[in-house]
Structure 1
Amino acid sequence: MNHDKTVSPFNWRRGLLSIGTGLLLLQTAACSFAGSEDAVVIAPPVQDEVVSNGGEETAVFAGGCFWGVQGVFQHVKGVKNAVSGYTGGAATTAQYEQVGDGNTGHAESVQVTFDPSQVSYGKLLQIFFSVAHNPTELNRQGPDSGTQYRSALFPQSPAQEKVAQAYIAQLDAAHSFSQPIVTRVETGKSFYPAESYHQNFLTLHPNHPYIVVNDLPKVDQLHKLFDGQYSNEPVLVKNTL
């Protein structure tokens, strides 16, 4: 969330969490230089997981600031929980201040628990690529830059990995985006929940300048493009993490 390269993305974002009036005005001005990416209409995956009629499944997505990614998936029917966190690095560095330095290997990510009989992994991928972020931006998303904001998928099973790889190839072959997809598929990585103040951030702070400019438009686009999968009431993280 940095527009001045002399200031680190982390320091600028930490400033966003302050509530001082003067800083809030500064935040609003800074946010005016950014904006949510327009959603892209894309085809669903040709290859998807076999529909299951029982149990729940988890999937982990990284697409820039986890506030918006979490907010989008919390409005998807069939999603039972969506938790903001960190994936890609060690447990000892899964903390906001360290991840913000961009040297931990972690990406801000969201762990989605879903009912595959209501929404498939493939459908979640379609929403992820279409609405939740721009998969053609390398190591950044909008105003946020650094490897911690990379586009990445963290498959939780060989089946998910196969579907993810196939869908990326499908979208690239169809030239669904103006640039090649840079989303990484990273296996064998553990997810660590983020601090409690990051959970449900979009819902709890709908008037926050960053949310207004960058993330609320994504929820609106979800409603417009995926009306059948859209839930007006978000599924919120209930426990303090």
Structure 2
Amino acid sequence: MKMTDIEKQVGDFRLRIPQLQLEDGCIHGLIGGNGCGKTTLAKLMMGILTPDSGRIDREGLTGREITMTSQRPYLMHTSVYENVVYPLKLRGEKPEESDIRPWLTRCGLWKKKDQYAGSLSGGERQKLSMIRAMILKPKFIIVDETLSNLDPDSVKLFEQWIREIQEQSAVTWVLISHQLSHIYRMSDQIHFLSQGELVVSGPARELLKNCGEERLRAFLDRESLDRT
């Protein structure tokens, strides 16, 4: 996906992206302080928002091939199981219980498959949201703070899951998280926003270990990233 000369006004906030290239099959970390424009940018990628000016080239990707999860996911007012299978049914698939069980079992939700999804804890909702996104097997997945409330073991589970998916099909990921250690472990490329502006992009290890850009260095120092 390539974005060129993008501007978007949302209330008093203005996002400016002169140029952003998201290389296919890579894991991209989108970082920056609160209110810097990360979620607005993600919604532009997804197509939820339309830029006021500029161009987004999705390079052949269709809406069915892009999905996004959020920190507070929307769940249907039905069971955990139906929340997983309904998007598949919309795409004309007929999932069997044997296909769904491994996904829910792996993150500890199989025994709650008949439970009302709205009664899940915040962390369980986020797990369900991630499963619902991954099971569609899209080509482009945006994860907007979806792993932020999970315990460390659950974060490691989904990190391993993402790596396994990459080994099989090399999906393009955009990870948005305040957990910079997670971004550091997972990302191939980093894109840093500050006050609505894309400041710098580049290889994750290079930018997070030895960055000369003053605003990014100050941000990393404030966040106390452990880069060992």
Q: Shared topology, TM-score over 0.5? A: no
Structure of greater Rg = 2
Compute the TM-score of the two structures, normalised by the length of structure 2: 0.28
Compute the TM-score of the two structures, normalised by the length of structure 1: 0.27
